[in-house]
Structure formats: C-alpha cells, structure tokens
Amino acid sequence: MQTKMLVLVAGTLGLATSVYGQVEQRELLADISARTSYQGGGSYNERGFTISDASGDNSLTIGGALQFNLNASFRDSDSVGDQDDFTWGFSTPLTRLRASGTIGSRELSYKIQLTMNGEDGVASIDDAFAQWDFGNGWAFRWGQFNLPVVREVVVGAEDHLGTDFSVTSAYFGQGYSQGVQLEYRAEMVRFLGALSDGAGTANTNFTSPLEADYALSARLEGLVVGSDWARFNDFTSWRSANGDAFLLGGAAHWQSGGETGGTSDADVLIYTVDGQWEGPGYAITGVLYGSSVDTAGGDRDDFGGMAQGHFFLTDQTGIFARWDGFFLDDSIGLSDDQINFAFIGVNHFLFPESTAVKFTGQLGYAFDDTTPIFGTGSALDGTTNNAFLGDAEEGEFALQFQGQVRF
C-alpha cells in the first residue's frame, strides 16, 4: 500500500510539473512573440523613430536634432575697433526634441517640439498643437504653431540650405503663434488660413502686450509642375528625383492692435511670393517680401528678396549659393537704403539620400552697412544670423562650419 501511495504521489507531482512547465513555456513564447511584434512594429527615418499599436490608431514618433557651429566674423577695425574686428568661437544654435503621432484615431494627430536656447540652454516650446483630419483634403489645427506665411520659416531650421535661415526670412518671418488654422489640400492646390495672436507671440498669455487684437494669415500654394508635395519639404533635390517639379506660393499676414486690453497700437502687414523649381540633383528658389508697419510714431515700408540654388556634384555632396537683398524705408536715414548679402557654401550628407547627418561650410559677405538689420533696436538685434554681427561699414565677412544630426 505504501509503495502504491508513493507511486501515485510521484505521478501526480510529475503531471503537475509537466502541466506547469507547459503553461510556463506558453507564457514565455507569448512574451517572446509580443516582444518580437513590438520590435517589428517600429520604423525609422531622419525625422524620428515611430512605434504604434496593431490598429495604427495610436502612434508615437520621437525625434530631434542638434547643430554645432564654428563661427567667425571679420569686420572693419575703423568701425568696431581693433578688438572686435575679428570674433570667433563655437556655438550650439539648435538643440531640439519633438514628439508627434496620433491618438485614438489616425485622423487625430498632435505635435510637441521643444528647442533649447543656444545662449543659455533654457528650453522653450515651439510647436504644441493637435489637428483633426476631416477627410477630402480638409484639416483643422489648434494650439501653437508656425503661422503659414514665410515658407522658409514654415519648412524649418533643419531643412534650409545653409547654416541658418536666410537673412531675409529671419527679418520678415512671422514665427510661432497661438491660434487656430484651417487647411485644404487638393492634388495640385493647398490653402492654409489662420486666426492667431499675431506674429512672434509664442508662449505668451492672452494679456501679453506683445499680442495683437487679432491676426489673420493666409497662404495659397500650387504645384504648377509635378504632383508630389513631399518634394518641397526642404530646399534640396536628390539626383535620383523623378523629373522636374515647380511649386508657386504666396501669403499675407495682417494684424492690428490697440483696441483691447494690453495690446499695442500697431497695424502690421507682411506679404510674400515664392517659387521653387526642382530637378534631378538641383533646386532653385526665389522669394519676394514686403512689410508695412503703422504705429503712432509713423509708418514704415520695407521690401526684400532672396534667390538661392543648390546643385549636387555627387550623390552626397552639393554646392549652393544665395543672395539676400533689402530695400528699406528711407526713414532709417541711410544715404543708401539697399543692403545686399551673398553666400556660397557646400553641403555633405553622410548617408546617400538622407538628411540624418549633414556637414556644411558657408562663407557670407555683406556689401553694405548692416546696422539697420543687426544693429541696436533693429529687427535682428542680438541675433547672430549666419554669424553676422553688424557693421556700419561695408565688407563684413562671416564664416561658418556646421555639423547637424537628426534623429
């Protein structure tokens, strides 16, 4: 009897161990399968790493960028003194993190982008918006975003040709604002219209004196040649590009203040017309700008233009050139109210047909007195756009070398 009992207990324990082992094995296989599925559900390009659930309705893309510069400015010693005629040093003009994706539905998307200030490292919010896609080309956005005016500013700091925004786009650019935007996109035409707090009012409260009473922005674009909107997300065109394409656009921004609490009595109009032609291995861009500012202190009308081109010498290396011109209001008191800049440079992309890692060398030259652009109280006062510091005499040189990484 004892022998039979021992055999029975041993058999029961063996069966339990076998069952437990099978359950544990199934759980382990299920865990491995889930992990494998998770790993296979991700994708990556230079704009970020994306993961999503099985339905695709919930997704998250995490990315960012950093830029590291070597800068040098050469100015007239008779104008700025022997100590300041040569200034050089390193800088990190752009350190950026972003998250974007969809929530609950592929129609509901979002984007949050933080940029660390190159002067003190303090983070500020650039983009913070959500968007609903209604279908049939219609979409509605709310939050903080780049107003749809100057195209180079809308494209963004990581996709321009040289080391920085062109001088004209930085001068006339609208910047970030808080508001709402309606978009309509068809096969060949795109329209964007926004109601906002006004140009350059990112991260402000509704009581801020920087805001306007109201601001209206509108941009209209058309694909005159070609049918791929994505080709115009930057200002280069790979040698493998399929044929030619031409984008023509125009925009206007109007804001008014002084009638509600805290706002300044000023009316501002910004307008622009731009075109970009792309072909296999080359791209050409031209822009015209205008602005009109009406304040209690008087009126001012400024105009500008920019032309640039990029040409690939190899699959990974290209050269570029740019002209920036200003035709400023004669109220600034200069004998010559025209200011011209010229730039030449080279871009090398570490990986073929990818902007993930880019190295840039650029030389800029100012033909005229640049203090109306970079001097005290000017639109770009305190900036180091393209390494220019401002000089009351003609002939300032600005040299930059930049390494950019996107992830």
Give the model's pLDDT for residue 117.
Answer: 87
Residue 42: pLDDT band (50, 70, 90) is confident
Give the model's pLDDT for residue 297.
Answer: 84
Instruction: Quote the percentage of the chain above a pLDDT of 70.
Output: 89
Residue type, 120: D
Radius of gyration for the chain, computed over Cα atoms and rounded to the nearest angstrom: 28
Give the model's pLDDT for residue 232.
Answer: 97
- DSSP character at residue 203: T
pLDDT in tens, 283-341: 999 999 999 999 988 899 999 999 999 999 999 999 999 999 999 998 766 656 899 99
SS3 content of the chain, % helix, strand, coil (to 5): 15, 50, 35
pLDDT in tens, 340-383: 999 999 999 999 999 999 999 999 999 999 999 998 888 899 89
φ, ψ of residue 275 to 5 degrees: the values are: -145, 145
Give the model's pLDDT for residue 16.
Answer: 47
Give the model's pLDDT for residue 14.
Answer: 54
Give the model's pLDDT for residue 38.
Answer: 44
Contact of 248 with 294, CB cutoff 8 Å: no
**Locate tokens 């105009």: which residue?**
303
Give the model's pLDDT for residue 118.
Answer: 82
Q: Please name the fold of domain 47-406.
A: Porin (2.40.160)
The Cα diameter of the chain in Å comes to 120
Distances (CA, A) of 248 to 274, 282, 304: 6, 17, 18
The mean per-residue pLDDT over the stretch 143-161 comes to: 96
Is the pTM for the entire model greater than 0.75?
Answer: yes
Per-domain residue ranges of the chain:
1-40, 47-406
Strands (E), 197-265: 214-225, 245-256
Lowest mean pLDDT among 36-40, 165-169, 230-234, 262-266: 36-40
